[in-house]
Amino acid sequence: MDAGMGLLAAAAAVRRLRPDADLVLSSDPDGMPWGPRTPDDITAHALATAEAAAARRPEALIVACNTASVHALPALRARLEPDLPVIGTVPAIKPAASGGGPVAVWATPATTGSPYQRGLIEEFAHGLAVTEVPCPGLSDAVENADEAAIAHAVAAAAKRTPDDARAIVLGCTHYELVAERIRAAVQRPRMPPLVLHGSAGAVAAQTLRRIGEPPAPGAPAEGTVTVLLSGRAAPLPAPALTYAEGRLLQAVSPTR
């Protein structure tokens, strides 16, 4: 679940690990964007979006959204666990910091500078040079597959990223859909290749561990994809198919 198409990265990661898994993608286009909402409002929308997915009786719920994980994870777990395991998304600051600094953390303006993100930096990257980079408009541009707006937002954030950054944390699940465009914008001449750290792969692996299902990437590609848009069954939105993750989900298991 996510407010929008940020869930594609985690869904595609699960699909690569378990091609036979049935997936339910629940988003909230009627309520987007969640970022400017109050924490209580975000929680209400997240609960509604999660419950739409839970009605399909899944084995686990991935909260593929940093904003919802920050504000609504306790409420989601209180409502749905232990019957339905809830796996949140945390910016990959810990693995990024393990390689040393300097590190840049790209995130939405609402997350940048938040006590939650500052706490992760203090816990996992204490003593390293860490720059928080707000990326206004980037998640909305990705949601709408607006190429011009994506290019503008990525270029603006790249200018705010220190030239010596060795790793970039993609602190919004939408950003993983344009990771290579981010890498191309930030990579400096004569510098070692940048390492980008998203959360989708780790979240997918953790989900399979929670439900006791080991990865089986060679399994037959028989899994289905059910799409819920603010609770309504629908095909994948057209903008999703502009991204490799959306095309993977559509090609491997056409949505229903």
Could you give the residue numbers annotated as active site?
65, 172
* Measured CA angle at 240 (ends 37, 107), to 5 deg: 40
C-alpha 197/C-alpha 62 separation (Å) is: 18
Q: What does R_g of the chain's alpha carbons equal in angstroms?
A: 17
Token reading at 32: 């987007």
C-alpha 29/C-alpha 234 separation (Å) is: 12
**Of 199, 232, 227, 224, which is closest to residue 5 (Cα–Cα)?**
227
* Pairing state between β 225-229 and 232-234: antiparallel
Cα-to-chain-centroid distance, residue 146? 18
Strand order through the sheet with 225-229: 23-27, 225-229, 232-234
Residues 6+ apart with CB under 8 A from 1: 7, 25, 26, 27, 46, 49, 50, 53, 61, 62, 63, 64, 65, 68
C-alpha 90/C-alpha 223 separation (Å) is: 27
